[in-house]
């Protein structure tokens, strides 16, 4: 029996509390191919001069019509949002502003390749054979994005955090 019905049956005072289903925000951030993290990963994997500005432009093109996303370029007249640098997500708890400054650099995961190189250079032959791609020179390796598509630890953390947000719990 649902707790609400049980309380009413037992004469316990109950006040319904409406809540915002935050799944739409979680999808805006995590959706494969169209979420903010997917856009960022794509930019990090692309050959050429990808910058924070190109990420911002891609987000504006892809997310500009989303009800919970805005930036100065897609119609928000709020002068608190810096043009070509800030965007806003309309969360259940209110509007949250973000800056794309440093997005590309922070999303590159060079630690994983360093770890593979370290394990490849181990004195233990079994460990060395497990990490053969650690033999590649740093100039031969393209850093993978650090976001969920390529990093299972981050994926678990972000999935747990977004699930908590959906449930209205603090992250």
How many of the other CB atoms lie within 10 Å of CB of 8?
Answer: 12
What the chain holds in terms of domains, given with CATH numbers, is 18-108 (1.20.58.530)
User: Structure tokens of 5?
Assistant: 């019905």
pLDDT of residue 135: 84
Pairing of β 69-71 and β 94-99? unpaired
Using CA atoms, how far apart are residues 112 and 152, in angstroms rounded to an integer? 12
Q: pLDDT at residue 171 above 60?
A: no
Q: Which helix (H) or strand (E) holds 87?
A: strand 86-91
* Closest to 89 measured CA to CA, from 41, 30, 136: 30
In the predicted model, what is the mean pLDDT of residues 64-93?
Answer: 88
Distances (CA, A) of 129 to 110, 118, 140: 21, 12, 19
pLDDT for the residue 168: 55
Q: What is the mean pLDDT of the chain?
A: 80
Highest mean pLDDT among 89-93, 140-144, 157-161: 89-93
138's CB contacts (< 8 A; 6+ apart) are: 113, 117
């Amino acid at each position: 029996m649902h707790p609400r019905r049980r309380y009413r049956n037992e004469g316990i005072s109950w006040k319904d509390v409406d809540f915002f289903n935050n799944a739409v925000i979680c999808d805006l951030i995590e959706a494969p191919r169209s979420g903010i993290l997917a856009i960022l990963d794509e930019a990090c994997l692309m050959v050429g001069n990808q910058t924070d500005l190109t990420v911002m432009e891609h987000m504006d093109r892809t997310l500009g019509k989303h009800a919970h996303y805005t930036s100065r370029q897609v119609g928000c007249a709020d002068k608190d949002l810096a043009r070509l640098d800030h965007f806003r997500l309309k969360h259940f708890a209110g509007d949250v502003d973000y800056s794309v400054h440093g997005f590309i650099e922070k999303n590159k995961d060079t630690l994983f390749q360093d770890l593979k190189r370290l394990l490849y250079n181990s004195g233990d032959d079994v460990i060395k054979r497990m990490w053969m791609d650690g033999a590649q020179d740093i100039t031969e390796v393209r850093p993978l994005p650090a976001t969920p598509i390529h990093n299972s630890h981050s994926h678990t953390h972000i999935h747990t955090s977004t699930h908590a947000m959906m449930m209205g719990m603090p992250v």
